[in-house]
Protein backbone atom coordinates (compact mmCIF):
# COMPACT_ATOMS: atom_id res chain seq x y z
CA UNK A 1 0.00 0.00 0.00
CA UNK A 2 1.33 3.44 -0.90
CA UNK A 3 1.85 5.67 2.11
CA UNK A 4 -0.11 8.91 1.92
CA UNK A 5 1.96 12.04 2.40
CA UNK A 6 0.81 14.07 5.38
CA UNK A 7 -0.44 17.45 4.29
CA UNK A 8 -0.99 20.09 6.94
CA UNK A 9 -4.78 20.57 7.12
CA UNK A 10 -6.28 24.02 6.73
CA UNK A 11 -7.07 25.44 10.17
CA UNK A 12 -9.18 28.57 10.48
CA UNK A 13 -8.46 30.90 13.38
CA UNK A 14 -11.56 31.24 15.54
CA UNK A 15 -11.21 35.03 15.75
CA UNK A 16 -14.50 36.73 14.87
CA UNK A 17 -14.84 40.21 16.34
CA UNK A 18 -18.59 40.43 15.84
CA UNK A 19 -19.34 37.03 17.36
CA UNK A 20 -16.88 37.63 20.21
CA UNK A 21 -18.64 40.89 21.05
CA UNK A 22 -22.04 39.21 21.06
CA UNK A 23 -20.80 36.33 23.20
CA UNK A 24 -19.12 38.69 25.66
CA UNK A 25 -22.29 40.80 25.89
CA UNK A 26 -24.31 37.64 26.57
CA UNK A 27 -21.85 36.51 29.27
CA UNK A 28 -21.61 39.96 30.87
CA UNK A 29 -25.39 40.30 31.15
CA UNK A 30 -26.01 37.01 32.94
CA UNK A 31 -27.46 37.32 36.45
CA UNK A 32 -24.10 37.76 38.19
CA UNK A 33 -21.53 40.45 38.88
CA UNK A 34 -19.30 41.22 35.92
CA UNK A 35 -16.59 38.55 35.64
CA UNK A 36 -17.86 36.64 38.67
CA UNK A 37 -17.57 33.23 36.97
CA UNK A 38 -13.88 33.84 36.36
CA UNK A 39 -12.13 31.40 34.05
CA UNK A 40 -15.43 29.75 33.12
CA UNK A 41 -16.37 32.94 31.31
CA UNK A 42 -13.30 32.91 29.07
CA UNK A 43 -13.87 29.20 28.47
CA UNK A 44 -17.48 29.83 27.43
CA UNK A 45 -16.28 32.52 25.04
CA UNK A 46 -13.69 30.13 23.57
CA UNK A 47 -16.28 27.39 23.07
CA UNK A 48 -18.64 29.79 21.33
CA UNK A 49 -15.88 30.96 18.99
CA UNK A 50 -14.84 27.38 18.21
CA UNK A 51 -18.40 26.51 17.22
CA UNK A 52 -19.14 29.87 15.60
CA UNK A 53 -22.30 30.20 17.63
CA UNK A 54 -23.84 31.99 20.61
CA UNK A 55 -25.15 28.60 21.81
CA UNK A 56 -22.70 25.73 22.42
CA UNK A 57 -23.52 22.05 21.86
CA UNK A 58 -21.05 19.38 23.00
CA UNK A 59 -21.71 16.01 21.35
CA UNK A 60 -20.29 12.46 21.35
CA UNK A 61 -17.08 13.22 23.29
CA UNK A 62 -14.14 10.96 22.39
CA UNK A 63 -11.16 9.87 24.50
CA UNK A 64 -8.19 8.73 22.42
CA UNK A 65 -5.12 7.22 24.12
CA UNK A 66 -2.05 6.84 21.91
CA UNK A 67 0.42 4.19 23.10
CA UNK A 68 4.02 3.61 22.02
CA UNK A 69 7.44 2.60 23.26
CA UNK A 70 10.75 4.43 23.16
CA UNK A 71 14.25 3.19 22.40
CA UNK A 72 15.67 5.64 24.92
CA UNK A 73 14.16 3.49 27.69
CA UNK A 74 17.28 1.33 27.33
CA UNK A 75 19.27 4.24 28.78
CA UNK A 76 17.62 3.80 32.19
CA UNK A 77 15.60 7.02 32.11
CA UNK A 78 12.44 5.48 33.61
CA UNK A 79 11.72 3.86 36.96
CA UNK A 80 9.59 1.21 35.23
CA UNK A 81 10.59 -1.39 32.60
CA UNK A 82 9.45 -0.98 29.02
CA UNK A 83 7.20 -4.04 29.31
CA UNK A 84 4.79 -1.93 31.38
CA UNK A 85 3.57 -0.13 28.24
CA UNK A 86 2.17 -3.33 26.76
CA UNK A 87 0.82 -4.43 30.12
CA UNK A 88 -0.94 -1.12 30.73
CA UNK A 89 -2.49 -1.11 27.26
CA UNK A 90 -3.84 -4.58 28.03
CA UNK A 91 -5.20 -3.21 31.31
CA UNK A 92 -6.95 -0.39 29.43
CA UNK A 93 -8.49 -2.82 26.98
CA UNK A 94 -9.69 -4.90 29.93
CA UNK A 95 -11.34 -1.79 31.41
CA UNK A 96 -9.18 -1.53 34.53
CA UNK A 97 -7.08 1.61 34.11
CA UNK A 98 -7.82 5.02 35.62
CA UNK A 99 -8.79 6.37 32.21
CA UNK A 100 -11.40 3.63 31.83
CA UNK A 101 -13.00 4.61 35.12
CA UNK A 102 -13.13 8.29 34.17
CA UNK A 103 -14.33 7.62 30.62
CA UNK A 104 -17.20 5.56 32.00
CA UNK A 105 -18.01 8.21 34.58
CA UNK A 106 -18.11 11.05 32.08
CA UNK A 107 -19.62 9.28 29.08
CA UNK A 108 -16.59 9.35 26.79
CA UNK A 109 -16.10 6.72 24.10
CA UNK A 110 -12.59 5.37 24.68
CA UNK A 111 -10.25 4.21 21.93
CA UNK A 112 -6.64 3.06 22.41
CA UNK A 113 -4.32 3.48 19.45
CA UNK A 114 -1.27 1.24 19.10
CA UNK A 115 1.10 3.81 17.62
CA UNK A 116 4.24 1.77 18.25
CA UNK A 117 4.10 -0.53 21.26
CA UNK A 118 7.07 -2.90 21.54
CA UNK A 119 4.88 -5.98 21.45
CA UNK A 120 1.84 -7.30 19.61
CA UNK A 121 -1.72 -6.79 20.76
CA UNK A 122 -4.70 -8.95 19.88
CA UNK A 123 -7.59 -7.33 18.08
CA UNK A 124 -10.08 -5.63 20.38
CA UNK A 125 -13.13 -3.41 19.69
CA UNK A 126 -11.47 -0.48 21.47
CA UNK A 127 -8.04 -0.95 19.88
CA UNK A 128 -7.01 0.88 16.72
CA UNK A 129 -3.99 -0.83 15.18
CA UNK A 130 -1.71 1.82 13.62
CA UNK A 131 1.71 0.53 14.71
CA UNK A 132 4.57 2.34 12.98
CA UNK A 133 7.25 0.07 14.48
CA UNK A 134 7.97 -1.78 17.73
CA UNK A 135 9.09 1.40 19.46
CA UNK A 136 11.28 4.24 18.26
CA UNK A 137 15.04 4.06 17.83
CA UNK A 138 17.17 5.17 20.76
CA UNK A 139 17.24 8.95 20.41
CA UNK A 140 20.44 9.08 22.47
CA UNK A 141 22.33 7.53 19.54
CA UNK A 142 20.44 8.73 16.46
CA UNK A 143 17.07 9.94 15.22
CA UNK A 144 14.08 8.47 17.03
CA UNK A 145 12.31 7.92 13.72
CA UNK A 146 12.87 8.27 10.02
CA UNK A 147 11.20 10.94 7.93
CA UNK A 148 8.97 8.23 6.47
CA UNK A 149 7.94 7.06 9.94
CA UNK A 150 7.19 10.62 11.04
CA UNK A 151 5.00 11.16 7.98
CA UNK A 152 3.21 7.85 8.62
CA UNK A 153 2.57 8.73 12.28
CA UNK A 154 1.22 12.20 11.51
CA UNK A 155 -1.06 10.81 8.82
CA UNK A 156 -2.25 7.96 11.04
CA UNK A 157 -3.21 10.44 13.76
CA UNK A 158 -5.14 12.51 11.25
CA UNK A 159 -6.91 9.41 9.91
CA UNK A 160 -7.82 8.16 13.38
CA UNK A 161 -9.38 11.49 14.27
CA UNK A 162 -11.34 11.66 11.03
CA UNK A 163 -12.86 8.23 11.74
CA UNK A 164 -14.35 9.37 15.06
CA UNK A 165 -17.70 11.12 15.57
CA UNK A 166 -18.50 14.08 17.78
CA UNK A 167 -17.20 17.60 18.25
CA UNK A 168 -15.07 17.08 21.38
CA UNK A 169 -11.91 14.98 21.59
CA UNK A 170 -9.61 14.39 24.56
CA UNK A 171 -6.07 13.15 24.06
CA UNK A 172 -4.01 10.92 26.33
CA UNK A 173 -1.02 8.62 26.05
CA UNK A 174 0.78 5.60 27.43
CA UNK A 175 4.47 4.96 26.91
CA UNK A 176 7.26 4.15 29.35
CA UNK A 177 10.06 6.78 29.08
CA UNK A 178 7.94 9.25 27.13
CA UNK A 179 8.73 12.14 29.46
CA UNK A 180 12.24 12.03 27.92
CA UNK A 181 11.16 12.98 24.37
CA UNK A 182 8.63 15.46 25.80
CA UNK A 183 11.41 17.18 27.76
CA UNK A 184 13.65 17.30 24.69
CA UNK A 185 10.88 18.84 22.58
CA UNK A 186 10.27 21.45 25.27
CA UNK A 187 13.99 22.19 25.36
CA UNK A 188 14.30 22.54 21.59
CA UNK A 189 11.03 24.31 20.73
CA UNK A 190 10.69 26.56 23.78
CA UNK A 191 14.32 27.13 24.73
CA UNK A 192 13.95 25.63 28.20
CA UNK A 193 17.13 24.17 29.69
CA UNK A 194 17.40 20.40 29.91
CA UNK A 195 17.57 20.53 33.70
CA UNK A 196 14.39 22.61 33.92
CA UNK A 197 12.56 20.57 31.27
CA UNK A 198 13.38 17.17 32.76
CA UNK A 199 11.35 15.78 35.64
CA UNK A 200 11.04 12.58 37.60
CA UNK A 201 8.53 10.91 35.28
CA UNK A 202 7.33 7.73 36.94
CA UNK A 203 9.19 8.56 40.17
CA UNK A 204 12.95 8.74 39.72
CA UNK A 205 15.27 9.21 42.69
CA UNK A 206 17.71 12.13 42.73
CA UNK A 207 20.59 10.07 41.25
CA UNK A 208 18.28 8.61 38.61
CA UNK A 209 17.04 12.10 37.70
CA UNK A 210 20.61 13.35 37.34
CA UNK A 211 21.37 10.38 35.08
CA UNK A 212 18.28 11.12 32.95
CA UNK A 213 19.30 14.76 32.59
CA UNK A 214 22.76 13.71 31.47
CA UNK A 215 21.32 11.36 28.83
CA UNK A 216 19.06 14.12 27.52
CA UNK A 217 21.84 16.72 27.44
CA UNK A 218 23.89 14.39 25.26
CA UNK A 219 20.87 13.67 23.06
CA UNK A 220 20.14 17.37 22.63
CA UNK A 221 23.71 17.95 21.52
CA UNK A 222 23.54 14.97 19.15
CA UNK A 223 20.44 16.48 17.51
CA UNK A 224 21.52 20.13 17.69
CA UNK A 225 20.72 20.69 14.01
CA UNK A 226 17.10 19.48 14.34
CA UNK A 227 15.61 22.91 15.02
CA UNK A 228 12.45 23.01 12.89
CA UNK A 229 9.38 21.62 14.72
CA UNK A 230 8.87 18.49 12.60
CA UNK A 231 12.60 17.85 12.33
CA UNK A 232 12.82 17.99 16.13
CA UNK A 233 9.81 15.68 16.41
CA UNK A 234 11.44 13.09 14.13
CA UNK A 235 14.82 13.32 15.87
CA UNK A 236 13.70 13.41 19.50
CA UNK A 237 10.01 12.55 19.66
CA UNK A 238 7.88 9.45 19.91
CA UNK A 239 5.32 7.73 17.74
CA UNK A 240 2.49 8.52 20.14
CA UNK A 241 3.51 12.18 20.31
CA UNK A 242 3.71 12.42 16.51
CA UNK A 243 0.39 10.65 16.04
CA UNK A 244 -1.25 12.89 18.63
CA UNK A 245 0.15 15.93 16.83
CA UNK A 246 -1.46 14.85 13.56
CA UNK A 247 -4.74 14.16 15.37
CA UNK A 248 -4.75 17.56 17.07
CA UNK A 249 -4.16 19.34 13.78
CA UNK A 250 -6.97 17.40 12.13
CA UNK A 251 -9.33 18.02 15.05
CA UNK A 252 -8.77 21.76 14.81
CA UNK A 253 -9.35 21.68 11.05
CA UNK A 254 -12.77 20.15 11.81
CA UNK A 255 -13.49 22.76 14.49
CA UNK A 256 -13.60 20.26 17.33
CA UNK A 257 -12.91 21.16 20.93
CA UNK A 258 -9.49 19.69 21.78
CA UNK A 259 -8.96 18.70 25.42
CA UNK A 260 -5.23 18.63 26.15
CA UNK A 261 -4.04 16.48 29.07
CA UNK A 262 -0.63 16.80 30.73
CA UNK A 263 3.05 16.99 29.82
CA UNK A 264 3.16 14.43 27.01
CA UNK A 265 -0.04 15.61 25.34
CA UNK A 266 1.26 19.11 25.96
CA UNK A 267 4.43 18.32 23.99
CA UNK A 268 2.26 17.27 21.03
CA UNK A 269 0.32 20.53 21.44
CA UNK A 270 3.64 22.39 21.48
CA UNK A 271 4.63 20.86 18.12
CA UNK A 272 1.17 21.41 16.63
CA UNK A 273 1.14 25.06 17.66
CA UNK A 274 4.64 25.55 16.24
CA UNK A 275 3.60 24.31 12.79
CA UNK A 276 0.08 25.81 12.78
CA UNK A 277 -0.43 28.53 15.42
CA UNK A 278 -4.20 28.70 14.82
CA UNK A 279 -4.57 25.21 16.33
CA UNK A 280 -4.21 26.74 19.81
CA UNK A 281 -7.61 28.45 19.42
CA UNK A 282 -9.23 25.00 19.67
CA UNK A 283 -7.23 23.74 22.65
CA UNK A 284 -8.51 23.63 26.21
CA UNK A 285 -5.54 23.01 28.50
CA UNK A 286 -7.08 20.89 31.20
CA UNK A 287 -4.54 20.76 34.00
CA UNK A 288 -1.04 21.57 35.17
CA UNK A 289 0.75 18.35 36.06
CA UNK A 290 3.38 17.73 38.71
CA UNK A 291 5.95 16.96 36.00
CA UNK A 292 8.65 19.61 36.21
CA UNK A 293 8.57 20.90 32.65
CA UNK A 294 4.81 21.14 32.26
CA UNK A 295 4.50 24.50 34.00
CA UNK A 296 7.13 25.92 31.65
CA UNK A 297 5.44 24.38 28.61
CA UNK A 298 2.13 25.99 29.56
CA UNK A 299 3.86 29.32 30.18
CA UNK A 300 5.48 29.17 26.74
CA UNK A 301 2.07 28.61 25.16
CA UNK A 302 0.51 31.30 27.40
CA UNK A 303 -2.03 28.64 28.38
CA UNK A 304 -4.01 28.82 31.62
CA UNK A 305 -5.00 25.31 32.74
CA UNK A 306 -8.33 24.57 34.38
CA UNK A 307 -6.98 22.35 37.18
CA UNK A 308 -3.83 21.95 39.27
CA UNK A 309 -4.08 18.67 41.19
CA UNK A 310 -0.44 17.44 41.17
CA UNK A 311 -1.40 14.73 38.68
CA UNK A 312 1.35 12.82 36.88
CA UNK A 313 -0.39 9.72 35.58
CA UNK A 314 -1.04 10.60 31.95
CA UNK A 315 -3.53 8.46 30.02
CA UNK A 316 -5.74 11.53 29.54
CA UNK A 317 -6.93 11.47 33.15
CA UNK A 318 -6.51 15.22 33.68
CA UNK A 319 -8.50 15.98 30.55
CA UNK A 320 -11.50 13.99 31.75
CA UNK A 321 -11.32 15.37 35.29
CA UNK A 322 -11.66 18.86 33.74
CA UNK A 323 -14.57 17.85 31.51
CA UNK A 324 -17.32 18.87 33.97
CA UNK A 325 -15.92 22.41 33.92
CA UNK A 326 -16.16 22.48 30.12
CA UNK A 327 -19.74 21.25 30.33
CA UNK A 328 -20.53 23.84 32.98
CA UNK A 329 -19.14 26.68 30.87
CA UNK A 330 -21.34 25.62 27.94
CA UNK A 331 -24.46 25.21 30.08
CA UNK A 332 -23.97 28.55 31.80
CA UNK A 333 -23.64 30.26 28.43
CA UNK A 334 -26.73 28.51 27.08
CA UNK A 335 -29.08 28.39 30.06
CA UNK A 336 -28.26 31.02 32.66
CA UNK A 337 -30.76 33.89 32.66
CA UNK A 338 -29.89 37.45 31.84
CA UNK A 339 -30.78 40.36 34.10
CA UNK A 340 -33.45 41.37 31.61
CA UNK A 341 -35.03 37.92 31.15
CA UNK A 342 -35.07 37.28 34.91
CA UNK A 343 -36.32 40.78 35.78
CA UNK A 344 -33.34 41.24 38.08
CA UNK A 345 -31.94 44.72 38.61
CA UNK A 346 -28.48 45.22 37.18
CA UNK A 347 -25.55 47.01 38.75
CA UNK A 348 -26.24 50.58 39.81
CA UNK A 349 -24.70 53.21 37.57
Catalytic position from the list 173, 315, 335, 340: 315
48: in domain: no
Residue 5 falls within a domain, yes or no?
no
What pLDDT, on the 0 to 100 scale, is given for residue 322? 98
Give, in order, the Cα–Cα distances in Å from 348 to each of 38, 336, 345.
21, 21, 8
**Looking at residue 349, what is its pLDDT?**
59
pLDDT digits (tens, 9 = 90+) for 62-76: 999 999 999 999 999
Is residue 52 one of the residues assigned to a domain? no
Q: Is the pLDDT reported for residue 187 higher than 80? A: yes
Tell me, yes or no, if 335 is annotated catalytic: no
20-40 average pLDDT score: 97
| Domain assignment of residue 193, yes or no | yes
pLDDT in tens, 78-131: 999 999 999 999 999 999 999 999 999 999 999 999 999 999 999 999 999 999
CA-to-CA distance for 188 and 83, rounded, in angstroms?
29
Q: How many domains does the chain have?
A: 1
Any domain includes 36: no
Residue 291 domain flag: yes
Domain that holds residue 232: 62-326
Query: Could you give the CA distance from residue 297 to residue 308 in angstroms, rounded to a whole number?
Result: 14
pTM, two decimals, is 0.96
The pLDDT tens digits of the residues spanning 100-113 come to 999 999 999 999 99
**CA distance linking residue 210 with residue 121, whole number of Å:** 34
Q: Does 232 map to a domain?
A: yes
CB atoms within 10 A of CB 193: 14
Tell me how far apart the alpha carbons of residues 55 and 23 are, in angstroms, rounded to a whole number: 9
- The predicted pLDDT at position 1 comes to 42
Q: Is residue 282 part of a domain?
A: yes
Q: Say which CATH number the domain at 86 has.
A: 3.40.50.10210
Amino acid sequence: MTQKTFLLPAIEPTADAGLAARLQHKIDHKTKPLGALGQLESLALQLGLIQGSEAVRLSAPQMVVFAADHGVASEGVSAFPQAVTLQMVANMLAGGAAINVLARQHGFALQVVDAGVAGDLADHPQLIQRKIAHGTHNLAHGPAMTAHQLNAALQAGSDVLTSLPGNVVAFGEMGIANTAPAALLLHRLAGVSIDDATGRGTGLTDPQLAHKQGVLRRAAQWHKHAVQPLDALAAMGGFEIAMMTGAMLQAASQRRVVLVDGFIAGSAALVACAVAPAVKDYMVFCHRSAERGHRLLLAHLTARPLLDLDLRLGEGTGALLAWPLVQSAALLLNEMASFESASVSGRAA
